[in-house]
């Protein structure tokens, strides 16, 4: 039963496995009885592990910081606090822009309330829509997109974000990565996946206990739980846990090297670049309230903007006269955004350019009638 909790499977998955092996399936009541029995032991081990590591944290926080002669305090790691997500391909957050910047963090805290009340003195152009477009800006998360007006509500909000001693800009600016949280979340998601409904019973709590033990103690916790129940720790169980813990240790040591850090930085740059290029071609596919935004902007995105008046471009008159006028034209396999280009042509007073591109998809009948382009299937 402990193996089921550790592996993240339930009654259905276990009996499906047993039946395909032509082994007698186990009754639901028997499984629940054994789960409760193992779960109680897991819960006790998890509490002991939590107490042990909290005690270590408490002792560590008593050390004096030589720079400011203050206690270092207990390190707290939080998650699910970023405001902006990724594009659907990379969920890297963009909200940690004030890391290490005490003044920026202080301005950000002030802007939280002020921004909602139409005061943008402490806002940053990188995220404040009002500073980007004062005439068209509307709040996306406030009623009717208008500024808040209640003075009593503003007073209460300012007490939370500005009048609270626990909200310290200096401490908040030192925030670091939430990787530890993500690591634990992954462990818990493997043992209690959202696709399986465990929350209506004690099974979810036992799976959380199992995740805590794996995070704190490593994979060896399985053998320790077996031993506490009077069962054999299991030779293969110990062998497997030792192998995984060794691999985990090597990966952790490798991650601290300069080469690994450079590699992560390079991959992050590459991922960011790919995300940006895909969003230019495809548009954003994952973002807060993207469904509501698309309903408003779909019509606008389909309209072709008017040709810009060249006389209004802020250039020197001589530069405008000398600048060559280039007219270009594209022929495609259809009107879809995913259509292939079949011809690219450009024309100026002195030069002409035209090239044909063999498409990877069929040319629509309507496009062929306009361009007179056809694909002969007999050609190789």
Average pLDDT over every residue of 345-372: 87
pLDDT tens profile 153-211? 999 988 888 877 667 777 776 666 667 778 888 888 889 887 777 877 888 899 999 99
The reported pLDDT for the residue numbered 2 is 75
Give the pLDDT confidence score for residue 147 in this predicted structure: 92
| pLDDT at residue number 304 | 57
pLDDT at 322: 67
pLDDT, greater one: 127 or 296:
127
Predicted confidence (pLDDT) per residue in 215-229, tens digit: 998 888 988 888 888
The pLDDT score that the predictor gives to residue 98 is 63
Mean of the per-residue pLDDT values for the chain?
78
Q: Match 């192998």 to its residue by tokens.
A: 243
- Above 70 in pLDDT, residue 378? no
Q: Within the chain, where are the H helices?
A: 2-7, 11-20, 28-61, 102-116, 129-132, 151-161, 169-172, 179-191, 203-217, 221-228, 235-255, 258-282, 290-302, 317-322, 365-371
> What is the CA angle 252-256-261, rounded to 5?
120
pLDDT of the residue at 87: 40
Grade residue 46 by pLDDT with cuts at 50, 70 and 90. very high
Residue 67 confidence (pLDDT): 52
pLDDT on residue 209 = 92
Task: Give the pLDDT confidence score for residue 301 in this predicted structure.
Answer: 47
Predicted pLDDT of residue 173:
67
Confidence band for 213, pLDDT divided at 50, 70 and 90: very high
- What pLDDT score does 144 carry? 86
DSSP symbol at 64: B
User: Taking each helix axis from N to C terminus, what angle separates 28-61 and 11-20, rounded to the nearest 10 degrees?
Assistant: 120
pLDDT value of position 96: 54
Q: Is the pTM of this model over 0.85?
A: no
Q: What is the pLDDT of residue 84?
A: 43
User: How far is it, in rounded angstroms, from Cα 3 to Cα 10?
Assistant: 10
Nearest residue to 196 (alpha-carbon basis) of 44, 16, 27, 37: 16
Closest to 213 (Cα-Cα) out of 34, 1, 41, 342: 41
pLDDT at 109: 85
pLDDT digits (tens, 9 = 90+) for 257-315: 888 888 888 888 888 777 777 766 666 665 555 554 544 444 444 555 666 665 665 65
pLDDT at site 42: 92
Sketch out the chain's domains with CATH numbers.
2-62+185-217 (no CATH), 102-172 (no CATH), 312-371 (3.30.420.10)
Give the CA-trace dihedral at 307, 312, 316, 322, to 10 degrees: 20
């Amino acid at each position: 039963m402990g193996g089921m909790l550790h592996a993240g499977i339930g009654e259905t998955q276990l009996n499906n496995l047993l039946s395909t092996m032509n082994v007698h399936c186990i009754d639901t009541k028997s499984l629940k009885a054994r789960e409760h029995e193992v779960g109680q032991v897991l819960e006790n081990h998890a509490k002991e592990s939590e107490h042990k590591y909290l005690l270590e944290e408490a002792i560590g926080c008593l050390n004096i910081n030589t720079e400011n002669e203050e206690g270092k305090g207990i390190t707290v790691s939080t998650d699910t606090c970023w405001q902006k997500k990724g594009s659907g391909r990379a969920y890297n957050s963009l909200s940690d822009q004030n890391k290490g910047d005490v003044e920026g963090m202080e301005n950000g805290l002030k802007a939280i309330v002020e921004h909602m009340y139409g005061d943008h003195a402490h806002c940053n152009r990188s995220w404040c829509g009002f500073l980007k477009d004062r005439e068209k800006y509307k709040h996306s998360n406030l009623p009717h997109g208008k500024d808040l007006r209640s003075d009593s509500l503003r007073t209460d909000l300012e007490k939370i974000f500005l009048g609270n001693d626990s909200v310290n800009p200096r401490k908040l600016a030192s925030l670091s990565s939430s990787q530890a949280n993500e690591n634990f979340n992954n462990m818990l998601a493997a043992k209690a996946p959202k696709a399986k409904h465990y929350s209506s019973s004690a099974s979810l709590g036992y799976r959380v206990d199992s995740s805590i033990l794996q995070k704190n103690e490593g994979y060896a916790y399985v053998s320790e739980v077996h031993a506490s129940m009077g069962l054999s720790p299991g030779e293969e169980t110990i062998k497997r846990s030792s192998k995984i813990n060794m691999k985990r240790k090597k990966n952790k040591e490798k991650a601290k090297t300069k080469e690994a850090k450079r590699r992560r930085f390079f991959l992050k740059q590459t991922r960011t670049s790919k995300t940006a290029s895909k969003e230019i071609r495809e548009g954003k596919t994952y973002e807060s309230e993207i469904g509501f935004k698309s309903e408003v902007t779909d019509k606008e995105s389909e309209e072709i903007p008017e040709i810009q008046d060249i006389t209004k471009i802020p250039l020197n008159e001589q530069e405008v006269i000398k600048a060559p006028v280039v007219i270009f034209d594209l022929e495609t396999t259809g009107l879809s955004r995913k259509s292939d280009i079949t011809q690219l042509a450009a024309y100026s007073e002195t030069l002409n350019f035209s090239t044909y591109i063999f498409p990877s998809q069929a040319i629509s009948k309507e496009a062929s009638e306009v361009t007179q382009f056809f694909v002969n299937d007999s050609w190789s």
